[in-house]
Structure 1
Amino acid sequence: MTVDNGVRVFAGMMVLVSLALTAYVHPNFVWLTAFVGLNLIQSAFTGFCPAASLLKKLGLK
């Protein structure tokens, strides 16, 4: 798996987890979903993605 694919999988999982937490734990977890979305937008403009850096350190191509 490449880093780009890993970032998409990680972002998708974070969105699904945060939506489940919003529904079953507390409504304020919706802010985690907003954070993930904003991080995806900023990474598209700046080219910097913290998740990509982490996945590279974990050994993804």
Structure 2
Amino acid sequence: MNIDRLVFAFAGTFILLSLLLSQVHSVYWLWVTAFVGANMLQAAFTGFCPLAMILRKFGRQPGCAFS
């Protein structure tokens, strides 16, 4: 699995988990969803993704988005 797919999987997991937690625990979990969405938006324009940088240091191969 390359960095691009791992970033998408990580973001999707956190979005779904925070949505679930907002329904069963507290509405404030939606702030996690907002943070993940904002980070994805800025990464689309700047190419800067902290998770992609961490995964690259662990030796994962970049895809076309974060190369």
Q: TM-score, normalised by structure 1?
A: 0.91
Q: How far 1:49 sits from its partner (Å)? A: 0.3
Identity, in percent, stands at: 48
Moved over 6 A (4+): none
Task: Name the counterpart of 1:59.
Answer: 59
Segments of structure 1 that go 5 or more residues without pairing to the other structure are: none
- RMSD over equivalenced CA pairs, Å: 0.9
Count of matched residue pairs: 61
Q: Deviations over 1:12-60 (max 9, x none)?
A: 0010111111111110110110110000000011110011112222332
Determine whether 1:37 maps to 2:32.
Answer: no
Structure index of larger Rg:
2
Task: Name the counterpart of 1:20.
Answer: 20
Letter in 1 for 2:50: P
Quick check: which one's helix share is greater?
1
Closer/same/farther in 2, CA of residues 24 and 58 from structure 1, 3 Å limit: farther
Alpha-carbon distance in structure 2 between the residues aligned to 1:3 and 1:17: 21
Alpha-carbon distance in structure 2 between the residues aligned to 1:54 and 1:17: 22
Q: TM-score, normalised by structure 2?
A: 0.84
Alpha-carbon distance in structure 2 between the residues aligned to 1:5 and 1:52: 10
Segments of structure 2 that go 5 or more residues without pairing to the other structure are: 62-67
